[in-house]
């Protein structure tokens, strides 16, 4: 029996009318497009898109959004922003982390994401010692995901050094730090915690080539036989220079030469690549995890989008620092950065006449699902019943469906989102999460307490 009958739904072959979807155990069990839409099932007056995966997030950073937009004494860069971030997280308790994450995840669902990849590196107490339960913070992240209803791929980050060549950690980094042995204990504990919440996926996230040595990276990758592997790579020009000086190769070049990058891998940012790296990463089957709003906020640089896409490269999008949690906004910024760099329009497309909005949305759905190892990204049998339903009464959807994805990505964005359904559960109505008042109230108290410190 169908659970929902959508007026319109964006299926892999395109828009269809009167789409009846049956749901079993949170998954899509059957689809009947143009069938007996008058039969059983709840009629949804709207245009359903598959839910998008947010493949890269540091949820606690949502609490410092707006706190780093004041000019410092010298040139402000990623590295001065990082100092603000280290000061901020020096005060966070596990309760704070859970409250901030729940708020960020709720905003993600309202903003068009139905799952998140939490690149989780805030592991220990403020003095750098593990909590009594080494997985305390991981448990808080899982609890926040449960409170919001978002799908979670938890990526415990392995962070060992303060910089290239095994440099000692900085004081601001002590809450992140583990050696290989302790990281494996943390990973085991995280798996046990995640196993209590069905549908939670666990991978690993070696932080970056500056935070782990080649030997340690080999050890943690070898020990993780399955699951996603995420790593920050080539976000900053200085990181590329340092990597060349110490490892004799650029970050993406070094990873390609030293690991069999494949579908399990997701290289976060991959901003600074030369032509050979761009071609090779595109051919590898790995996903580039692009975070366009954060990359713009931090002044990181612009991803080589057109050659990467032309080479068959896979990408997904992430909200990273969570300054503005907005699925359509990320896709719009991605394309607009390309336009500014290329001084051209509709850059991230492959053929004449193609809709840029559809291309961006489809690629991000597929890349996000792959990078988080989650059965989503399409309205199709066997995928999770995740839907972002656009308001059919929005005036920008009054015309031809051929333009609807462009209207969503480039014009209306989250304003158009009416309902969000995750695993068959209706979590958002008229753009608001059902638990908004409770989750926002708890978050407001944390913001007020941190401001008073």
Give the residue numbers marked as catalytic. Answer: 269, 320
The binding site for Zn ion (CB under 5 A) comprises 320
3-state secondary structure of 57: strand
Distance CA 187, CA 204 (A): 8
Within 13 Å of residue 111, how many CA atoms lie on the same side as its CB? 22
- Give the helix/strand (H/E) hosting 80: helix 78-89
Question: In the bound complex, what is the minimum distance in angstroms from residue 431's beta carbon to Zn ion?
Answer: 27
Distance CA 223, CA 162 (A): 23
Under 8 Å CB-to-CB from 306, ≥6 apart: which residues?
Answer: 338, 342, 347, 348
Closest CA to 318 of 86, 137, 76, 111: 111
- Which one, 286 or 397, has the nearer CB to Zn ion? 286
Question: In the bound complex, what is the minimum distance in angstroms from residue 232's beta carbon to Zn ion?
Answer: 6
Distance CA 17, CA 362 (A): 19
Taking the CB of residue 431, how many other CB atoms lie within 10 A of it?
16
- Which one, 21 or 255, has the nearer CB to Zn ion? 255
Which residue, judged by CB position, is nearest to Zn ion in the bound state? 320
Bridge partner residues of 156 (DSSP):
120
- Which one, 98 or 320, has the nearer CB to Zn ion? 320
Question: In the bound complex, what is the minimum distance in angstroms from residue 399's beta carbon to Zn ion?
Answer: 38
- Which one, 320 or 391, has the nearer CB to Zn ion? 320
Under 8 Å CB-to-CB from 196, ≥6 apart: which residues?
Answer: 142
- Which one, 320 or 335, has the nearer CB to Zn ion? 320
Question: In the bound complex, what is the minimum distance in angstroms from residue 56's beta carbon to Zn ion?
Answer: 6
Question: In the bound complex, what is the minimum distance in angstroms from residue 58's beta carbon to Zn ion?
Answer: 6
Pairing of strands 314-317, 387-391: unpaired
Question: In residues, how long is the chain?
Answer: 453
């Amino acid at each position: 029996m169908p659970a929902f009958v959508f007026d319109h739904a964006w299926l892999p072959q395109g828009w269809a009318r009167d789409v009846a979807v049956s749901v079993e155990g949170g998954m899509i069990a059957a689809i009947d497009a143009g069938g007996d839409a008058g039969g059983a099932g709840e009629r949804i007056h709207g245009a359903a898109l598959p839910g998008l995966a947010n493949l890269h997030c540091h949820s606690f950073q949502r609490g410092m959004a707006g706190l780093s937009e004041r000019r410092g004494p010298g040139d402000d860069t990623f590295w001065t922003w990082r100092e603000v971030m280290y000061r901020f997280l020096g005060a966070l308790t596990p309760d704070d982390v859970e409250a901030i994450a729940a708020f960020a995840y709720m905003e993600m669902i309202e903003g068009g994401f139905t799952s998140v990849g939490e690149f989780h590196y805030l592991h220990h107490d403020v003095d750098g010692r593990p909590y009594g339960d080494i997985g305390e913070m991981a448990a808080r992240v899982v609890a926040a995901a449960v409170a919001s209803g978002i799908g979670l791929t938890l990526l415990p980050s392995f962070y060992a050094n303060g910089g290239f060549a095994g440099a000692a950690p900085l004081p601001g980094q002590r809450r992140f730090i583990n050696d290989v042995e302790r990281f494996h204990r943390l990973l085991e504990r995280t798996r046990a915690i995640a196993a209590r919440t069905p549908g939670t996926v666990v991978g690993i996230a070696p932080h970056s080539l500056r935070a782990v040595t080649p030997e340690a990276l080999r050890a943690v990758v070898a020990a993780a036989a399955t699951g996603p592997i995420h790593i920050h790579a080539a976000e900053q020009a200085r990181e590329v220079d340092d990597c060349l000086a110490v490892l004799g190769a650029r970050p993406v070049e070094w990873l390609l030469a030293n690991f069999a990058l494949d579908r399990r891998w997701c290289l976060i940012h991959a901003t600074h690549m030369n032509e050979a790296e761009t071609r090779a990463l595109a051919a590898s089957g790995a996903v580039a995890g692009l975070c366009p709003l954060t990359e713009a906020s931090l002044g990181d640089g612009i991803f080589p989008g057109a050659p990467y896409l032309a080479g068959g490269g896979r990408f997904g999008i992430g909200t990273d620092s969570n300054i503005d949690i907005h699925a359509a906004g990320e896709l719009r910024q991605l394309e607009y950065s390309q336009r500014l760099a290329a001084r051209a329009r509709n850059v991230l497309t492959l053929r004449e006449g193609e809709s840029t909005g559809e291309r961006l949305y489809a690629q991000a759905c597929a890349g996000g699902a792959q990078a988080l190892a989650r059965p989503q990204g399409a309205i199709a049998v066997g995928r999770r019943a995740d839907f972002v339903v656009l308001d059919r009464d929005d005036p920008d959807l009054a015309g031809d469906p051929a333009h609807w994805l462009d209207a969503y990505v480039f014009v209306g964005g989250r304003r158009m989102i009416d309902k969000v359904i995750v695993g068959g559960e209706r979590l958002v109505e008229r753009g608001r999460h059902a638990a908004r008042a409770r989750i926002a109230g708890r978050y407001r108290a944390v913001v007020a307490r941190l401001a008073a410190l």
